[in-house]
Structure 1
Amino acid sequence: MSRIDLSLATVDCAACPIRHRAVCASCEGEDLARLAAMKSYRTWKAGETIVLEGQALSFVASVVEGCATLTRSLEDGRMQMVGLLMPSDFVGRPGRTTAPYEVTAATKVTLCMFDRRAFERMMTETPHLAGRLLEMSLDELDAARDWMLVLGRKTAREKVATLLAIILRRAPTAARPLRAELPLTREAMAAYLGLTIETVSRQMTALRKDGLIRLDGARGILCEDLAALIAEAGDDGDGALLT
């Protein structure tokens, strides 16, 4: 069961770790205060369902910490992971009353939540907030198109390197070596990449032996040269890799 996160209830928006990357990045002064007045924080444990596919969605939210998966299901019960939500990503769509995907916490996840109707009203009255959400939606569309290339044309090695690079580019600090926690199990990585667990494990081992990554404990991953990992993913350094 999700929990209201009282430890974050009084956090100043200016001190928020996603402040300049989230939907509120364009808001200052009165606009930021208006968002702050309607926000609440809620936390889910790894494995808990945040939103069910088709469920009425009374809120929109920004991911403050953690990683969640987006999943779609078929009538016969088969399911496919179609996306990841990382810190600063947006959950929900203004104007849409139901959730198109199931959202599940892959790690401990904290959301900064806004009442959907109140947020929609603010969007109509605050054009730059609507513009920021449009910008984020277009980035998400570009990322989805890039992911089609990953799944359809890249080799197993390139697929694994791409996913690791995406995660490392969201590392909390830019200190070298970059360090991030893998938010997905090998099984979940395999499902997301369209590979077998054995193939994912082999490619992780190969990337480690080639010095492109190092492993740190059960989930930690270290990278001294992100550019080299991006090159191994089959992407250039000009932002072609989805973030």
Structure 2
Amino acid sequence: MKYNKIVKGTFISRPNRFLAKVLIDTKVHVVHVKNTGRCRELLIEGATVYLEDFKDNLRNRKTRFSLVAVEKIIVRNGKEKVLLVNMDSQITNKVAGEAFENGAIILPNFDKGYYNIRTEKTFGDSRFDFYIEGARKDRNSKEEEQIRAYVEIKSCTLEENGCAKFPDAPTQRGVKHIRELCGAVKKGYLAYVIFIIQMKEVSNFKPNDVLHPEFGIALREAQKYGVNILAYDCINTEDSIRVDKPVKVIL
């Protein structure tokens, strides 16, 4: 997934969840933040940020720029390094969709591939990010078994000492989605939660039990119920992001 035009800036402050003040060249701009999470460990005064510039396509926008990525200083093997973190939570569904299409994400059980991928599909009281139809080998015959699945995508930007964590703010909506996926399994569907970790330099993923214990409980119960829990990291540049490799999930 590529952005159109990216400019570099310096983060100053975040008046609310949706807006930030950023110094671009010599002028302070109020910009849109494409992530409503807390992001406190990322949006630090003086941090280098990257913004999508909509100067040539403003339409009804109230701000010219959207903040999409930030440089985070991390320590690995006793040395500091710069980690580029994409924090655009609105892009992860597109990134996941591309990964389904190009084979970067191969869902367990779909060994014969996908033949129908739909977005924003409703089940029960929830709307899931993807509904996927495909096929796998039937265990009892040489025939192909048709399978159907609901997939929920979660945007993950929180990293602590190489461990990716979700959420970075309490999410009752996330808990609801997890429990609804259990309902889909009960009805005969396959179900998946995929955490798109919007950076490299992570070795594993864990639910953020300290911040929101209920989410971690729901995730563990879902796994026992048959919901597949997956995580993938991403390769970022200043103007692009793509899914790269699976990350170990520790529950």
- TM-score, normalized by length of structure 2? 0.29
Higher Rg: 2
Q: Which has the higher contact order (CA 8 A, sep 6+)?
A: 1
- TM-score, normalized by length of structure 1? 0.29
